[in-house]
Chains A and B, each alone.
Chain A
Amino acid sequence: MSKLSDVERIKTDSRHLRGSLSESLEAAITGALAEDDTQLSKFHGIYQQDDRDLRAERKRQKLEPAYSFMIRARVPGGLCTPAQWLNMDRVATEYANGSIRLTTRQAFQLHGVIKRRLKATVAGINAAMMDTLAACGDVNRNVMAPPLSSSNRVYAAVQQHARELSDHLTPATGAYHEIWLDGEKLPTPEVEPIYGDTYLPRKFKTAFVIPPQNDTDIFAQDLGFIAIVEDDQLIGYNVTVGGGMGMSHGEPATYPRLADQLGFVSVEDHLKVGEAVVTTQRDYGDRTNRKHARLKYTIDDRGIEWLRDEVARRAGVELQAPRPFEFVANGDAYGWQQDEAGAWHYLFFVENGRVSDVGERRLLSGLRAIAKLDVGEFRLTPNQNLTISNLSDAQKATVSALLAEYGITNSDRASALRLNSMACVAMPTCSLAMAESERYLPDLVSKLDAAMNAAGLDNEAITIRMTGCPNGCARPYIAEIGLVGKGPGTYNLYLGAGFAGDRLGCLYRENINEAEILAALTPLFEAYAADREPDEHFGRFCIRTGVIREVTAGLNFHGAAA
């Protein structure tokens, strides 16, 4: 037996995620947590970071790094009320850096919260019936669900299932209340019915999706539920397992992988099946190597048939053959749309999910004004965008006026490439980042727009995603243009992924800078403009014309399967 990873020791000793977090918060001589506690805080939705722009300077000043914390608040299914939005706005303004970030998992992220304000921030989030528990860590994280569907009835049913599963998989520990909300200390430790004392071997991601939009990128999830709709009725789900983006540069044993379909289950069985997948991974996932601990590796090590049998046995549910469905895109469907009940929804672009006031586009203030109307809903999308939903005709008019007043509708004029772009946070706060991402992608998109326009691809939708490291928070391996940070100013370029998030990209150029990125893509844009077939997306074109090899499974992401 190999030795368990050190995080396993920390979890085991933590008394259900308590560790010495309370003491760490009290220690006034440092803005950091004790080292072990930095692992445990993640389970509470809190990441210790530091301003990397200041690292060297502060070291010379004999000061510790400028530590601050990223706090992630769960929003199951991305659905929040105007009151919750206002509360998050208040907390961000009062305790964080004054901006709200919408994440690729439909959660809220606040950045720049210093240690002595952490408790107040978590308490502030809690005041609006939201929490940060299990937003990170080796547990099931925020459960995703589509923000929109052509059928409001199907949307509502899927939302409810997502919320049920989220609740079902939330850790039972009282640590969260004790540490952050001054809750009573329990005399005897509670039982973690699903996770046990050591939780999962690694993070675990779950999503629901309603075809034909693959907006939640169902194949990038450990556990997925594809809604199967017949006659406008939700009849069940095709369950998917084993998706995941993370890999490490230079370690071919790590790779992104798209999920397999496990089988069809009827609506009433989704909780049982979901729990069975989680507990199987809990018991069989690799706890010795964190780079080999996600469900995707468990499946590649043991086989999908093994998992299917194990899940069926644990859930007591027979998995039927998957039902047919079709995906068309993994981006968001922008603009106003009306559902069958007559309610209006407006989905709009939020560049890299950053909600702040920049120039004429005063997102933060505008959304505050809209939230104060206290009408409709705010729905966070899986592509870091936002929907103002469930508006009557009259409300639509009021909201439209505010959207225009605050310059929010300006994004309707953004290029198709920009509207299909996504970047992770990266520098300066993320400790994993090797290169810029959020601060850089908007500029790069402008330059690529120019190249596309020159090639005559004025408004062609191509998905482009950038991350500062290979862990893949912005899911770059399933974007037609994937850019993954390698070092300061340099990226690996991946091409050939499916427009609907249904095929992985393949490494095209390694370690290239901006000039090289432009030099690599410009001739491809020209060729695509000249030679594409009708309705052929850029990723597919690159494969058909031999620009890049087609990746058919995670195991051959780095090269042909052995």
Chain B
Amino acid sequence: MSATASSLQFPLSHDQARRVEDAFTGLDASQLQWLSGYAAGLAASGVATAPAIAPQADVGETWTILYGSQTGNGEGIASRLADDARARGYTVKLASLADYKPSALKKETLASFIISTHGEGDPPDDAELVHEFLLSAKAPGLEKLRYNVLALGDSSYVNFCQTGREFDARLAELGGERLTSIVECDVDFQDAAGEWAEATFNALPEPANVASVGPQLRAVPDAPVFDRNTPLLAEVQTVQRITGRDSSKSVYHVELSLDDSGLLYAPGDSLAVMPVNPPALVDEVLDVTGIDGDTTVDVDGQTIALREALSTKLEITALSLPFLTAWAAHSNDASLEALAAGDNKEALSDLIDSHQVIDILHRFPASVDGQSLADSLRRLAPRSYSIASSLTANPDEVHLTVAEVAYEAFDRPHWGSASTYLGRRLEEGDRVAVYVETNNRFRLPDNPEAPIIMIGPGTGVAPFRAFVEERAEQEASGRNWLFFGERNFDSDFLYQLEWLRHLKQGSLERLDVAFSRDQAEKIYVQHRIRDNAAELVRWIDDGAHVYVCGDAKHMAPDVHAALRDALVAQRGVDADTAEQALKDLRQQGRYQRDVY
């Protein structure tokens, strides 16, 4: 038929083609893949012209959905909310806080903020500028604004969801009206985030022009989407310790097979791994509480043996505030109660940093039954690892760089659940539940000619292995410069042979290293940045993108200061001007961080 014949020609008008092209700009591989399925779903439903376009035209008010997060979780929630909203007929503007002009706030009338908190209560990089603006005296009155906040956080930090709380409080202070109250999500955010989204829709008026879009039009993509609820069970191909025998630490290179799963990722993305707790630790929890491991408990509506729950469902390593609160009640210990009440934040923070669940169980004995124990523990959350491989260079594989957490404290061993699982307990052929966490805030430049400077001490080097592999594979002409640091040259130079090969082949232009414990004085990457300030600023002047990955507490601020000082020294400007230059770079996406 003629329609078929014409579809063999180029099917879009010039204008349509341009709009499609615009729409696709900036999307990553998995988003494109999802869209292809979505479009196919629309076509198959036979009402392809209905959604998205028609209802938006007549809606008066724009609902602005803003997100700022370090890992990509916030972006995921925000874009699902935006999809839902559009499907229901709302006019939506979705944006990252990183791309959002703070002064535009005063014009908003309807806005939802999805904001994570970083480390010890700091805003994520993306939200930093808006956060600063909002809390400053320059912030305008927001009497016209109706808003709500979804705060993401990790209750193993004392200042849990701090940034979200600050946004929520400050927006009200500036005259904004709350659409719903703030919802605070822990690492296990999915349910709470879903409830918040429903509450938001309930609080909003029906859109002016309700779309005639039925649920059948929620497209079913052909590419599988792996997430928390439907992870990929990836086969372990290799687990190789990559620190030398005399090393003070164990770092493992883990290779997982993607088989033909269709799982896609891009350099910069993270892989979430569902851990299994150390069996010895599960035994110890059962031992110290005196509960039989075969006792059945209810967890999320499932009835399972407590031993199984402690292994795969519940958090028994990292401490969280809800656990401490619950345990204070169980143990009837006044000192723990006082701590959990949070009056002395510093003491609470110290406790959470230095202790694990097992230490609390030992120190504050309580007589509890299996169900009470299960209820007091937080849900076991997936652990994120920056992906260490390029999919182009390693088809059907994903690689991780895993530093084992294992130490003695209070006369008993302590372990990290995922690191010991990946490094020590998994064997080749085993399967591990994983899914990709997209991180569009940590991406190689679009321009293959742009130089890049990568600063990644310790396992922070992982994404840069992916970056360099990807650039080598693409034969990108941009120069690549890596700063790496660790404790000892002899044993801790992660991926040394590969870097030497990249240098030889030209896929790495420069490599500067700092080994802190090879000499009397401690030398870190920031020292190497200072040593090479002139060259580094030349690279930035040549358009280099700067990436930092690794420790958020000490390394990232120290590196930031070194970058600022380099600009001060080389450009002869004052510190504020240099700070502003770094902010501008951040705004341009030329200074990106993946720090944790």
A63 contact from B242, B503, B518, Cβ within 8 A: B242
Q: Give the complex CA separation of A57 and B245 in angstroms.
A: 9
Which one of A28-36, A296-304, A385-393 is at the B interface? A28-36
A29 touches B511 (CB 8 A): yes
Taking the closest CB of chain A, its distance from the CB of B524, in whole angstroms, is: 14
Contact with B along A331-362 (1 / 0, CB 8 A): 00000000000000000000000000000000
B497 touches A64 (CB 8 A): yes
Question: Which chain B positions have C-beta within 8 A of A114?
Answer: 490
Question: Which chain B positions have C-beta within 8 A of A58?
Answer: 244
A62 touches B511 (CB 8 A): no
Taking chain B's interface residues, is the majority helix, strand, or loop, or is none over half, making it mixed? mixed
Q: Give the complex CA separation of A29 and B500 in angstroms.
A: 8
A64 touches B240 (CB 8 A): no
Question: Which chain B positions have C-beta within 8 A of A59?
Answer: 497
Q: Give the complex CA separation of A60 and B495 in angstroms.
A: 10
Residue of chain A at shortest CB distance from B528? A28
B513 touches A28 (CB 8 A): yes
A29 touches B490 (CB 8 A): no
Q: Give the complex CA separation of A233 and B161 in angstroms.
A: 96
Contact with A along B222-240 (1 / 0, CB 8 A): 0000000000000000001
Question: Which chain A positions have C-beta within 8 A of B495?
Answer: 62
Q: Does residue A2 face the partner (Cβ distance < 8 Å to B)? A: no
Q: Give the complex CA separation of A440 and B499 in angstroms.
A: 38
Scoring A29, A64, A116 by chain B CB atoms within 10 A of each residue's CB, the highest score goes to A29
B491 touches A62 (CB 8 A): no
A62 touches B245 (CB 8 A): no
B244 touches A62 (CB 8 A): no
Q: Give the complex CA separation of A61 and B240 in angstroms.
A: 7
Q: Give the complex CA separation of A60 and B497 in angstroms.
A: 10
Q: Give the complex CA separation of A64 and B496 in angstroms.
A: 7
A62 contact from B490, B496, B512, B513, Cβ within 8 A: B496
Q: Does residue A547 face the partner (Cβ distance < 8 Å to B)? A: no
B489 touches A62 (CB 8 A): no
Q: Does residue A328 face the partner (Cβ distance < 8 Å to B)? A: no
Contact with B along A34-55 (1 / 0, CB 8 A): 0000000000000000000010
- Known contacts A57-B245, A63-B497, A28 near B240 by CB under 8 Å: no
B518 touches A62 (CB 8 A): no
Q: Give the complex CA separation of A30 and B504 in angstroms.
A: 13
Contact with B along A62-102 (1 / 0, CB 8 A): 11101000000000000000000000000000000000000
Taking the closest CB of chain B, its distance from the CB of A75, in whole angstroms, is: 30
B500 contact from A30, A54, A57, A60, Cβ within 8 A: A30
B503 touches A62 (CB 8 A): no
Question: Which chain A positions have C-beta within 8 A of B240?
Answer: 60-62
Residue of chain B at shortest CB distance from A68? B490
Residue of chain B at shortest CB distance from A58? B244
Q: Does residue B253 face the partner (Cβ distance < 8 Å to A)? A: yes
Q: Give the complex CA separation of A29 and B496 in angstroms.
A: 8
Q: Give the complex CA separation of A28 and B503 in angstroms.
A: 13
Question: Which chain B positions have C-beta within 8 A of A64?
Answer: 493, 496-497, 500
Q: Give the complex CA separation of A312 and B499 in angstroms.
A: 58
Question: Which chain B positions have C-beta within 8 A of A31?
Answer: 489-490
Taking the closest CB of chain B, its distance from the CB of A91, in whole angstroms, is: 18
Question: Which chain B positions have C-beta within 8 A of A57?
Answer: 245
Q: Give the complex CA separation of A196 and B512 in angstroms.
A: 39
Taking chain A's interface residues, is the majority helix, strand, or loop, or is none over half, making it mixed? loop
Residue of chain B at shortest CB distance from A114? B490
Q: Does residue B61 face the partner (Cβ distance < 8 Å to A)? A: no
Q: Give the complex CA separation of A66 and B493 in angstroms.
A: 12
A54 touches B490 (CB 8 A): no
Question: Which chain B positions have C-beta within 8 A of A66?
Answer: 244, 490
B497 touches A29 (CB 8 A): no
A63 touches B499 (CB 8 A): no
B241 touches A61 (CB 8 A): yes
Q: Give the complex CA separation of A114 and B246 in angstroms.
A: 15
Taking the closest CB of chain A, its distance from the CB of B390, in whole angstroms, is: 16
Q: Give the complex CA separation of A62 and B399 in angstroms.
A: 14
The size of the chain A interface, using a CB distance under 8 A, is 16
B499 contact from A29, A54, A61, A116, Cβ within 8 A: A29
B498 touches A63 (CB 8 A): no
Taking the closest CB of chain A, its distance from the CB of B509, in whole angstroms, is: 13
Q: Give the complex CA separation of A58 and B242 in angstroms.
A: 8
- Known contacts A61-B242, A63-B242, A63-B244, A116 near B518 by CB under 8 Å: yes
Question: Which chain B positions have C-beta within 8 A of A116?
Answer: 489, 518
Q: Does residue B417 face the partner (Cβ distance < 8 Å to A)? A: no
Question: Which chain A positions have C-beta within 8 A of B116?
Answer: none
Contact residues of B between 504 and 520, Cβ < 8 Å to A: 511-513, 515, 518
Q: Does residue B243 face the partner (Cβ distance < 8 Å to A)? A: yes
Taking the closest CB of chain B, its distance from the CB of A522, in whole angstroms, is: 41
A63 touches B491 (CB 8 A): yes
Q: Give the complex CA separation of A29 and B513 in angstroms.
A: 7
Q: Give the complex CA separation of A57 and B496 in angstroms.
A: 14
Scoring A28, A54, A114 by chain B CB atoms within 10 A of each residue's CB, the highest score goes to A28
A61 touches B490 (CB 8 A): no
B241 touches A62 (CB 8 A): no
Taking the closest CB of chain A, its distance from the CB of B252, in whole angstroms, is: 10
Contact residues of A between 440 and 476, Cβ < 8 Å to B: none
Taking the closest CB of chain B, its distance from the CB of A20, in whole angstroms, is: 16
A61 touches B513 (CB 8 A): no
A63 touches B245 (CB 8 A): no
Residue of chain A at shortest CB distance from B498? A62
Q: Give the complex CA separation of A60 and B489 in angstroms.
A: 17
Q: Give the complex CA separation of A30 and B518 in angstroms.
A: 14
Question: Which chain A positions have C-beta within 8 A of B490?
Answer: 31, 66, 114
B243 contact from A28, A29, A30, A61, Cβ within 8 A: A61
Contact residues of B between 443 and 494, Cβ < 8 Å to A: 489-491, 493-494
A61 touches B503 (CB 8 A): no
Scoring B244, B503, B512 by chain A CB atoms within 10 A of each residue's CB, the highest score goes to B244
Q: Give the complex CA separation of A58 and B496 in angstroms.
A: 10
Taking the closest CB of chain A, its distance from the CB of B505, in whole angstroms, is: 15
Question: Which chain B positions have C-beta within 8 A of A28?
Answer: 489, 512-513, 515
Taking the closest CB of chain B, its distance from the CB of A76, in whole angstroms, is: 35
- Known contacts A63-B496, A64-B496, A29 near B241 by CB under 8 Å: no
Taking the closest CB of chain A, its distance from the CB of B51, in whole angstroms, is: 50
Q: Give the complex CA separation of A324 and B41 in angstroms.
A: 107
B245 touches A54 (CB 8 A): yes
Question: Which chain A positions have C-beta within 8 A of B512?
Answer: 28
Q: Give the complex CA separation of A31 and B489 in angstroms.
A: 9
Contact with B along A292-310 (1 / 0, CB 8 A): 0000000000000000000
B245 touches A29 (CB 8 A): no
Q: Give the complex CA separation of A59 and B501 in angstroms.
A: 13
Question: Which chain B positions have C-beta within 8 A of A30?
Answer: 500
Contact with B along A1-36 (1 / 0, CB 8 A): 000000000000000000000000000111100000
Question: Which chain A positions have C-beta within 8 A of B511?
Answer: 29
Q: Give the complex CA separation of A108 and B494 in angstroms.
A: 36
Question: Which chain A positions have C-beta within 8 A of B518?
Answer: 116
Scoring A30, A54, A57, A60 by chain B CB atoms within 10 A of each residue's CB, the highest score goes to A30
Give residues in B with beta carbon < 8 Å to A: 240-245, 253, 489-491, 493-500, 503, 511-513, 515, 518
Give residues in A with beta carbon < 8 Å to B: 28-31, 54, 57-64, 66, 114, 116
14 A–B pairs (Cβ distance < 8 Å), ordered by A: A28-B513, A29-B511, A31-B489, A61-B240, A61-B242, A62-B242, A62-B495, A62-B497, A63-B493, A63-B496, A64-B496, A64-B500, A116-B489, A116-B518
Given A29-B493, A29-B500, A58-B244, 6 extra CB contacts under 8 A: A31-B490, A62-B242, A62-B253, A62-B495, A63-B491, A116-B518
Nearest 4 CB-CB pairs, A to B?
A: A61-B242, A62-B497, A63-B496, A62-B242
